[in-house]
């Protein structure tokens, strides 16, 4: 891993972006929070709380970026430009899907 790649990864991680979090039930019945960046497929964080899920996502995103940089792969636009976030806000709604309740939330965070 080159120092240049590490510096670029840190720069990209610091870009403010939208984080989507949702609460999911595992097959075991345990509930976890899952966090993703819209437009960055395959990069997911999870945890017992929304904060843990966002921290796990940040670590996963760093590895995602480093892997792409080291292999010479292009990064999705959402990785390099971030997404405009007007004001920090959180909105939660309950969604019924296949007879079970799922809580979904979207939060706009700065520098996750």
pLDDT at residue 104 tops 70:
no
Which sequence spans correspond to the domains of the chain?
3-109
Q: What is the dihedral of CA 57, 59, 64, 68, to 10 degrees?
A: 150
User: Strands 100-109 and 17-25: what pairing?
Assistant: antiparallel
Per-residue pLDDT of 18-54, as tens digits, reads: 999 999 999 999 999 999 999 999 999 999 999 999 9
Higher pLDDT, 73 or 106: 73
- Backbone φ and ψ of 101, nearest 5°: -85, 135
Residue range 77-103, pLDDT digits in tens: 888 886 544 443 343 333 333 333 333
Q: For domain 3-109, give the fold.
A: Double Stranded RNA Binding Domain (3.30.160)
């Amino acid at each position: 891993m080159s120092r240049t790649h590490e510096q670029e990864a840190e720069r990209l991680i610091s870009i403010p972006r939208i984080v989507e979090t949702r609460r999911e039930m595992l097959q075991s019945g345990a509930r976890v929070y899952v966090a993703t960046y819209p437009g960055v497929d395959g990069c997911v964080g999870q945890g017992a709380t929304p904060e843990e899920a966002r921290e796990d996502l940040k670590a996963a995103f760093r590895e995602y970026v480093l892997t792409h940089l080291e292999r010479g792969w292009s990064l999705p636009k959402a990785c390099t430009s971030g997404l405009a976030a007007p004001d920090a806000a959180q909105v939660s709604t309950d969604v019924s899907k296949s007879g079970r309740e799922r809580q979904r939330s979207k939060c706009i965070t700065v520098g996750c």
